[in-house]
Amino acid sequence: MRLRRNLRLILPNLVALLASAIMLTPPLLLLLNSFKPGAEAMVMDLSLPSRIEWSNFIEVINRGNLLRTFINSSTYSVVSVCLTVLLASMAAYVFARNRKKLHVFLYFFLVLGITMPINFVTLVRVMQTLSLMNSRGGIILLYTALQMPFNVFLIHSFIGKIPREIDEAGIIDGCSPIRLFIYVILPLLKPVLITVMILTFLGTWNEFIIPLYMLGSSALWPMTLAVFNFFGMFFTDWNLISANIVLTSLPVVIVYLCGQKYIVAGMTQGSVKG
């Protein structure tokens, strides 16, 4: 009986350790090979480098135009986050507080975008018609639109926990609808808004297909396209490719590690009504 109880405790931990080892192997492989000389990196194993080559990162930054693409990715991600947080929170608040048939229909119509696939032929045609192809403004608006359905859904469920009496108290105190939203409701949405910020940043930074179709000029490329282009030029230099991927992934890893507790809190607090 005791042996069976011990097996029930040990087996889940062994499975978790095995799964963790499998998932950690690729990033560890890239990290180790990014510090190796070219000949050692060709083997692509988990052995420690004979000497640390910091020059790999310097060469990647200079030859891969990472500084310019970093600025592009940062611009797209930060502006998309700001627009998404503002528009998604406003839309979710209106949908949550108005339960008329039209508002319910519009809410479900918008949320349907979570499951609908992207038709790139139609999307490219629309972007061309609106003269938004190959432009920073166009890609930012596109990122914002693609992130809206899930974010509205997330914030909408969170607003459902906020009592309507708070709205009524604000109106009695003389708040206009805009002031009520900005000064009363928005501060209460802090947990879910931080979650939306982090998820939108991660999704925008990691996006590859959208800029590949929409941005023809290399001067506008984000870091994901820079990695793809760099691999095409230096496909035999695995030390440089690994260093490129490490530098590109570093902002995402930092943002996720700093905000992982907010992601869990923001996604669970609105799921159960208390």
Residue in 31, 16, 22, 2 with CA at minimum distance from that of residue 249? 31
Give me 210's structure tokens: 């959208």
The reported pLDDT for the residue numbered 268 is: 57
Is residue 68 within 8 Å of 219, Cβ to Cβ?
Answer: yes
Residues 6+ apart with CB under 8 A from 253: none
The reported pLDDT for the residue numbered 155 is: 92
Q: Which residues of the chain have pLDDT under 70?
A: 1-3, 6-7, 263-274
The reported pLDDT for the residue numbered 264 is: 63
pTM: 0.83
Backbone angles phi, psi at 51, to 5 degrees: -150, 150
Residue in 194, 68, 88 with CA at minimum distance from that of residue 136? 68
The reported pLDDT for the residue numbered 1 is: 61
How far, in Å, CA of 223 to CA of 252, rounded?
Answer: 11
CATH topology of domain 65-269: MetI-like fold (1.10.3720)
> In 10 A of CB 94, how many CB atoms?
17
Is residue 170 within 8 Å of 180, Cβ to Cβ?
Answer: yes
Residues 6+ apart with CB under 8 A from 158: 92, 189, 191, 192, 266, 269, 270
The reported pLDDT for the residue numbered 162 is: 86
The reported pLDDT for the residue numbered 143 is: 94
